[in-house]
Structure 1
Amino acid sequence: MTNPLLQASALPHFDLIKTEHVEPAIDQILQDNRSKIEALTQLDDIRWETLARPMEELDNRLNDAWSAISHLNAVVNDEALRDAYNNSLAKLTAYSTEVGQNKALYEAYKTLAESDEFETLDQQSRKSVENILKAFHLSGVDLDDDKKARFSELSNRLSELTSKFSENVLDATQGWYRHIEDEKELSGLPESALDGARQAAKQRALEGFVITLDFPSYFPVMTYCDNRALRQEVYEAFLTRASDQGPNAGQWDNGPLIKEIMSLRYELATILGFDNYADRSLAKKMASSTEEVLDFLNELAVKTKPVAEKEFEELQAYAKEHGGETLNGESLQSWDLAYFGEKLRQNRYAISQEELRPYFPAHKVIQGMFDCVHRLFNIEIEQSDEATLWHPDVTYYEIKRDGQKIAAFYLDLYARANKRGGAWMADCRVRLKDKDNQLIDPVAFLTCNFTPPVGDKPALLTHDEVTTLFHEFGHGLHHMLTKMDVYEVSGINGVAWDAVELPSQFLENWCWQPEALQLISGHYETGEPLPKSMLDKMLAAKNFQAGMQMMRQLEFSLFDFRLHTEYSDSHPVEAAEILKDVRDQVAVVKPPSFTRFQNSFSHIFAGGYAAGYYSYKWAEVLAADAFSKFEENGVFDQQTGEEFLHAILEQGGSREPMELFVEFRGREPSVEPLLHQAGII
């Protein structure tokens, strides 16, 4: 039978893909690509159609296969697939470095960029060539042979280490659970969390309840459970995952991996002529210098810290007054913050995430979200059975405009065993024109880890989960509504990493608008929309502890950026030291010394956010300012929606993000709308 990963198809054959298909498919594609690249470097006649278009096809074929493999590795992980994935990843990394250092291929692109034809190409094609030339330099094409070889070794080893980091976090998360037989130990836990804990126990053939470190289990314990000792136990297990501390100390320890990752990143950056890894990271971002990023983060911290300190003082006072029995004379600890924070929120606003949950059944939220984007961007979204799926929970949708299909996506909402935690969007297919000038529609993977349906009840989302869904769908729209058809700049390809969060954070705003909430809420039993009294309380509570939340994000951002700026061979700073120093500067609450947050910080040690976690805050400024135009014109104003669609979503990475923002907003961004939105000023 033909390997399904090699079949030219609009969509992956998830019903046919088996682990044994993975490595042969990657081997075959890499072999084909190498021979075709060899032929391309012999060209005498270098034009867009003879060089860039064939290279696009090679990149796209490889992406089609790898997107399916890496997605399955994230959502139905097992040992055999993990091995096949890691073996293939090593081959891909070597291939990527080899292509990036191919001098003949680089010279061919340079010839194209300097040709008379180049000026006649459209904007997206020119930008793609410029991006490719920059990527050659960042891959070490200018290095001598010894340095090229070392660069390749570093890239391969970093690929192994970051993959292992992610695996350790997954294994550590799944490697701990707490079995509880007496329901009294779970006093305070809402019914939805108790149902989930019962289901987790049944899955392990146990009586009673099971608490795990998956977020839908961890979060309710920290927020609602009256049992302080249990909160402490669960907190310690969660904050020591993959470390030398806690209940599984040393078993999946990421500490040594962090040291090696930092050392190799520094060496890789300096081989390329950068002072540090942060400088290398900024080579493809909006921010122009490490100073600009640090000034930006520090300015936000200075403006926010007094607000956060006041919030923490209020929390301490509330806990002291109302938590006598629970605290037993002790001071407020990290495992008390969410618990007393929720009590204070309910005391002040008489509203909780759990009270809101019945009004946000997943099916209603999804349909309401589709209605919102229909009003904004004139698109229709319909469920389809045209795709094969990897799990019964997954659904597949098509996006249409004027009855014409323009994109599609898979939606995988619920937490389960062997699925990576968190929420993300990834591309499955990239929009481009193939060699026959036929348009390939973009397809996205949208993945979350929400509490699944229990028994006869539908899945009921917290408002935080609703916001997460809108966030990931914003990424998806950026990928799927692109009008670009050149691979390198289509969708999110080629978009500066500190601008890529703009559409996702932008779309979150509709989760707070009364007009949108009418569409996305409806009681799961009665269909009644969110009552005005609850809506008013929810909106009043919107910025509850916003200062503390902002400082927490700034803590993560400063830790990441300072670590990658300050680390050097002569000064190999420890992650824990930098984290402590940052906390001394910005944290209003300092966690216990046993915590090892950095050991599960996959965003920077296993994802694409190394020296880039600041991007969330950077893009939040863009998103708040962009949304302020809708506040001026109406949250469903069609003209403003069309302007955002044309300026931001459709143009992908074809122009610099600041140009696109100015095209939409008429000026450069200001930090003020974000601070207003968060109630800081």
Structure 2
Amino acid sequence: MTRSPLELPADAAGWPQFLAQTVDASLAAARTMLATLVDGTDRTAEQVLDLWNDADAALAQASAAGHLMSEVHPDPDVRSAAEAGAQAAEDLATERGLDRELWEVVAAVDPVGLDPAAQRLHDHLLRDFRRAGVDRSADERERLRTLAQRCTELGLEFSRNIREGSRSIRVRPEQLAGLPEDFRAEHAPGDDGLVVLTTEYPDLIPVRTYATDAGVRRDLTSEYLRIGWPQNGPVLAELLRLRAERAGLLGYPDWPTYDAEVKMIGSGTAIADFVDRLDELTAQPAERDVAVLLARYRQDDPGATAVTAADSLYYDQVVRREQYDVDAQEVRGYFRYPAVRDGVMSTIGRLLGLEFTAVDVPSWHPEVEAYDVTDAADGSALGRFYLDMHPRAGKFNHAAQFSLVPGVAGLRLPEGVLVCNFPTGTMEHDDVCTFFHEFGHLVHEIVGGHQRWVAFGGVATEWDFVEAPSQLLEEWAWDAGVLSTFASDAQGNPIPAALVERMRRADAFGRGAWTRRQLNFTALSYGLHATPPADLDAYTASVDERFGPYAPLPDTHQVTGFGHLDGYGSAYYTYLWSLVIAKDLRTAFGDDLMSTAVGRRYREEILAPGGTADAADLVERFLGRPREFDAFEAWLAQRA
């Protein structure tokens, strides 16, 4: 019997009890079940795995609620308590992986007669025990435990410093020239006559895109690139050093080699090879794109010698307006948050055969909305999700999907949360793409969250595949037929197909520079972990010098605000690796993105299995062939 959705507190006073029941009590239950596993009782293979799974489900619930609330709850005391719960969950996972008695119980299981999913779980458990170091000496296991716990503390601190590290500048009202009228109306000067601009996305992106005052663009971008500095410098340095020590104790030459072992890419050297392959593919297209931006920049400033991050978005939209007849301010006039929200859900619902129904239930903030998910064909309940979509103080300041309730077949339905920082009014088209992207993670969490074994539920595929389904769904943000169903101007006129076609052509411009910038992040993420440098800023500068594509801004410290270095570690390559796969998956839809037959097959063959099969096998089953690089190369080579 499936349990009812998780009940959240109806008032502020209920949150300490919620954390006690959902995090603390779940951790206690997990500990009890793990202790039961080693109580000497003779159990069948299936009984051992079932008991492990029950403990895993309790641990996953504690971890999900702790991590989510530490990032989104408006009360700093609740965030702090939730962070402590998340730390406790990670510590228990570490203890479990190093427990020799547990390992001996699992290793003694005879997998003969188990179904394929159970056998896969057993194989993964033995693999994970080995990777935790359970077979090492007692002293080594204790050191590994200490290292893992300290890495968790450092990761949480690194993320907290970014989350709470918003910066700002103050400018005169006339320095908002070029920015949209609604933006200027929302940014009235204070008592001192100055306007405050923050590094949060609803300020940062419009300023970088539209502000004609180069000084304003530079100052705000520079502040953004100082988020987490100086606090995160020593935090990151220690985190990198301890990850390297963990890998060495476990017999690996470096952290990327250890980390990549359980991913599609397979090895650390394969990451380096992937970087080199993309380096060759992107160098000339990026150089060509940046040259166009610089030439246009010099029309405004003949002395300009380089394009920086403070100039790139601005001159990108200038070139698109002047050379491709795409005015970004005109485009954003067609995208209003409520319509985009409804349009994204309607589009994905029709494509995948899902229905989303708003429900009035308590949450952690008045702006958060909740929806129940059902199967459109038979009305069966599939899960629930929450939308926390606008910025506020102390909240996670990027865009991501979080689990709230990990689903378990027959026990509880999955619940997920989108956490974004969109404006409440008009949105950039890039915001629309991000919405489709993050909603892709959400439907993967919900549709894939119905496995017997919690370890395979939701987005529990190889980590370097997890972005592919979301990157695929960004394609729908570029389809004129799709956009016409929800994108309209103030008078209600749908976005013209001709404008969408010009947007598509303009999007081909800058593709080389965009991909090169992602490659920069990829190389930085990998290189920091392959050989942790003594000087983080100097190493970042060396990566910028090789990959660019934009000149660095002086006295900035990008690496301390690079949040993916916590969760993704050395695996930021995931985004480009998954993009290659996403472009290949796109070929299955041909000329009809709204083919419900292909959409339903995609739901069943890519999303619904969760982690019950290797991602490469899921892709090959869906495409009817092994994955290829061709579609990505064609996309990258496309000229405007």
Report if TM-score (shorter chain) is over 0.5. Answer: yes
> Contact 2:478 / 2:504 at 8 angstroms: preserved in 1?
yes
1:177 equivalent in alignment to 2:168: yes
Q: Which residue in the other structure is 1:603 paired with? A: 564
Q: CA deviation at 1:520?
A: 3.2
Q: Which residue in the other structure is 1:215 paired with? A: 201
1:374 equivalent in alignment to 2:367: no
Identity between Structure 1 and Structure 2 (%): 27
State the distance in 2 between where 1:423 and 1:280 align: 27
State the distance in 2 between where 1:101 and 1:448 align: 36
Distance 1:352 1:263, change over 3 A: same
Task: Name the amino acid aligned to 1:486.
Answer: W
Cα deviations by residue, 1:251-275 (Å, 9 ceiling, x for unpaired): xx21111211111011111111111
Q: Which residue in the other structure is 2:370 paired with? A: 396
Distance 1:676 1:126, change over 3 A: same
1:659 equivalent in alignment to 2:612: no
Bigger CA drift: 284-293 or 617-626?
284-293
State the distance in 2 between where 1:671 and 1:284 align: 21
Q: Which residue in the other structure is 2:286 paired with? A: 308
Map 1:398-437 onto structure 2 (within 5 A): 398-401=372-375, 402-433=378-409
Cα deviations by residue, 1:398-422 (Å, 9 ceiling, x for unpaired): 1111222212211111112221101
Q: Which residue in the other structure is 1:566 paired with? A: 531
Q: How many residues align?
A: 632
Q: Which residue in the other structure is 2:542 paired with? A: 581
The equivalent position to 2:123 in structure 1, one of 121, 126, 130, is 130
Q: CA deviation at 1:492?
A: 1.2
Q: CA deviation at 1:680?
A: 4.7
Map 1:530-545 onto structure 2 (within 5 A): 530-545=495-510
1:448 equivalent in alignment to 2:426: no
Q: Which residue in the other structure is 2:572 paired with? A: 613
Q: CA deviation at 1:601?
A: 0.5
Q: CA deviation at 1:461?
A: 1.8
> CA RMSD, aligned part only?
2.2
Map 1:503-518 onto structure 2 (within 5 A): 503-518=469-484
State the distance in 2 between where 1:124 and 1:12 align: 31
Q: Which residue in the other structure is 2:310 paired with? A: 335
Q: Which residue in the other structure is 2:214 paired with? A: 228
The equivalent position to 2:511 in structure 1, one of 535, 542, 546, is 546
The equivalent position to 2:104 in structure 1, one of 95, 104, 107, is 107
Matched position secondary structure for 2:187: helix
Cα deviations by residue, 1:43-68 (Å, 9 ceiling, x for unpaired): 44333542222222222233334423
Q: Which residue in the other structure is 1:239 paired with? A: 225
State the distance in 2 between where 1:37 and 1:406 align: 29
Q: CA deviation at 1:558?
A: 0.9
Q: Which residue in the other structure is 1:15 paired with? A: 10
State the distance in 1 between where 2:115 and 2:187 align: 56
Q: CA deviation at 1:544?
A: 2.2
Q: CA deviation at 1:91?
A: 2.7
Q: CA deviation at 1:84?
A: 1.8
State the distance in 2 between where 1:599 and 1:235 align: 14
Q: CA deviation at 1:489?
A: 0.5
Bigger CA drift: 80-89 or 144-153?
80-89
Q: Which residue in the other structure is 2:161 paired with? A: 168
State the distance in 1 between where 2:416 and 2:23 align: 21
State the distance in 2 between where 1:315 and 1:511 align: 25
Task: Name the amino acid aligned to 2:325.
Answer: A
Distance 1:631 1:24, change over 3 A: closer
Bigger CA drift: 527-536 or 213-222?
527-536
> Contact 1:471 / 1:507 at 8 angstroms: preserved in 2?
yes
> Contact 2:98 / 2:145 at 8 angstroms: preserved in 1?
no
Matched position secondary structure for 1:414: coil
Map 1:48-127 onto structure 2 (within 5 A): 48-112=45-109, 115=110, 118-127=111-120
Task: Name the amino acid aligned to 2:452.
Answer: D
> Contact 2:605 / 2:618 at 8 angstroms: preserved in 1?
yes
1:38 equivalent in alignment to 2:29: no
Scaled by the length of structure 1, what TM-score is found? 0.88
Task: Name the amino acid aligned to 2:560.
Answer: N
Matched position secondary structure for 1:460: coil
Distance 1:39 1:329, change over 3 A: closer
Q: Which residue in the other structure is 1:246 paired with? A: none
The equivalent position to 1:197 in structure 2, one of 187, 192, 213, is 187
Task: Name the amino acid aligned to 1:87.
Answer: A
Matched position secondary structure for 1:461: coil
Task: Name the amino acid aligned to 2:542.
Answer: D
Cα deviations by residue, 1:547-585 (Å, 9 ceiling, x for unpaired): 100000000001111221233xxxx55333432332232
Q: Which residue in the other structure is 2:251 paired with? A: 273
Matched position secondary structure for 1:419: coil
Structure 1 unaligned blocks of 5 or more = 1-7, 244-249, 453-458
State the distance in 1 between where 2:159 and 2:58 align: 26
Distance 1:329 1:464, change over 3 A: closer
Matched position secondary structure for 1:541: helix
Distance 1:195 1:63, change over 3 A: farther
The equivalent position to 1:622 in structure 2, one of 564, 568, 581, is 581
Q: CA deviation at 1:26?
A: 4.2
> Contact 1:286 / 1:658 at 8 angstroms: preserved in 2?
yes
Q: CA deviation at 1:10?
A: 2.3
Q: CA deviation at 1:504?
A: 0.6
Q: Which residue in the other structure is 1:348 paired with? A: 323
Distance 1:254 1:42, change over 3 A: same
State the distance in 1 between where 2:306 and 2:271 align: 36
The equivalent position to 2:295 in structure 1, one of 307, 317, 336, is 317
> Contact 1:12 / 1:68 at 8 angstroms: preserved in 2?
no
Distance 1:520 1:320, change over 3 A: same
The equivalent position to 2:176 in structure 1, one of 170, 183, 186, is 186
Distance 1:291 1:70, change over 3 A: closer
Matched position secondary structure for 2:401: strand
Distance 1:235 1:369, change over 3 A: closer
> Contact 2:22 / 2:61 at 8 angstroms: preserved in 1?
no
State the distance in 2 between where 1:28 and 1:69 align: 12
Q: CA deviation at 1:599?
A: 0.7
State the distance in 2 between where 1:635 and 1:670 align: 20
Q: CA deviation at 1:370?
A: 2.4
Cα deviations by residue, 1:477-521 (Å, 9 ceiling, x for unpaired): 11111252321111112x111011111111111111122112231
Task: Name the amino acid aligned to 2:389.
Answer: L
> Contact 2:169 / 2:219 at 8 angstroms: preserved in 1?
no
Scaled by the length of structure 2, what TM-score is found? 0.93
Distance 1:667 1:558, change over 3 A: same
> Contact 1:379 / 1:399 at 8 angstroms: preserved in 2?
yes
State the distance in 2 between where 1:428 and 1:21 align: 13
> Contact 1:127 / 1:489 at 8 angstroms: preserved in 2?
no
Bigger CA drift: 438-447 or 543-552?
438-447
Matched position secondary structure for 2:507: coil
Distance 1:267 1:509, change over 3 A: same
Task: Name the amino acid aligned to 1:178.
Answer: I
State the distance in 1 between where 2:305 and 2:258 align: 47
Task: Name the amino acid aligned to 1:389.
Answer: S
Q: Which residue in the other structure is 2:338 paired with? A: 363
Q: CA deviation at 1:330?
A: 6.7
State the distance in 2 between where 1:626 and 1:597 align: 33
